[in-house]
Amino acid sequence: MNKKLTAKDKTALTILDQETGEFIEITEEQKVIASLIQRNIELGFFISAINIKKMLDGRYYYALGCQSRDEWIDTKCPIGRSQVYKLYAIATKFEPILDGMQIKQLGEGSSESTSDSVQLLDKTGVEKLYELSKLEDAQLNDLLKNGKIKTDGGEYSFDDIKDATAKEMSRIIAESTKKYKAKLSQQDEEIATLLEEKKIQDKELAKIRKDKKDLEDIEMLYGPVASTVQQKRKYMETARTMLEEFNEVLIRCGVTADDPETMHKYMQGIIREIDEIHQRAIDTYKEVLEQ
């Protein structure tokens, strides 16, 4: 029994995605949105940029019967390939700052509403828009909010930008980004300094943790301070054995006056530590020694 075709089935579109080799089912809504985007691409430079990005990012070109983005660019897009990628770069930079432009649904009208800033940008031209896309986000915010950008060479309004040539625009952008690049360079140096300081702090922290671990290991090995006569005698025997072993090892070092000065200093440090240990022992057992 044959299935009766519905209105939806009659309008369904199946496209082969040349990039993946898979077939894609296109809905009627996708076709409507794709047609609207396609129409908006012809409204102006900046609006074209926004809609080209929507077309490529959303892959709406499938809904226009194209099997790849390249096919859409070559057969459906009214703008040349090199311009398409410039406009895409422009939209990528500006869209987050302008919070994008919402695609109107069918029945809401055939064109998109545009702010004053967008209308000004739309009259700027592709090459100058492309140069503007090289500005830092903070500079673009100033331009769109206050209608001007500040450079070391002065201030430039939208009218100045509109009247400037692409070459002059490139020079203005280079001037305006100079101080931001210098600031970024300074920030990079500060970050490098902070990272170096953090490295030193991490090293010191690692040493503290190691010292703590060594103390914990010693306590686990020898236990807490002795409380019974038997424990005390055992600790003293252990201490004497360690002292004898230490003495034998120290004598085996065989350091002489002919050895390097660094070795002399190392040995002097060990002997000073012996003196310090001797003094700590006297301080600890002062009452015992006075008996």
> For 24-53, what is each residue's pLDDT tens digit?
888 888 888 888 888 877 776 778 888 888
Structure tokens at 10: 């009659």
What pLDDT score was predicted for residue 151? Answer: 66
Assign 109 a pLDDT band (cuts: 50, 70, 90).
very low
Residue 24: φ, ψ to 5°: -120, 130
* Integer angstrom CA distances of residue 113 from 2, 102, 104, 118, 123: 47, 9, 9, 9, 16
pLDDT of residue 196: 76
Q: State pLDDT tens for residues 226-274.
A: 668 887 888 888 888 888 888 888 888 888 888 888 888 888 988 999 9
Q: Model confidence over 55-106: pLDDT tens digits? A: 999 888 888 888 888 999 898 888 888 888 888 888 888 877 665 434 333 2
Domain ranges of the chain: 7-106+126-133
The pTM of this model reads 0.46
**High-pLDDT (> 70) share of the chain, %:** 73
Please name the amino acid found at residue 203. K
Please give the Cα distance from 53 to 56 (Å, whole number).
Answer: 5
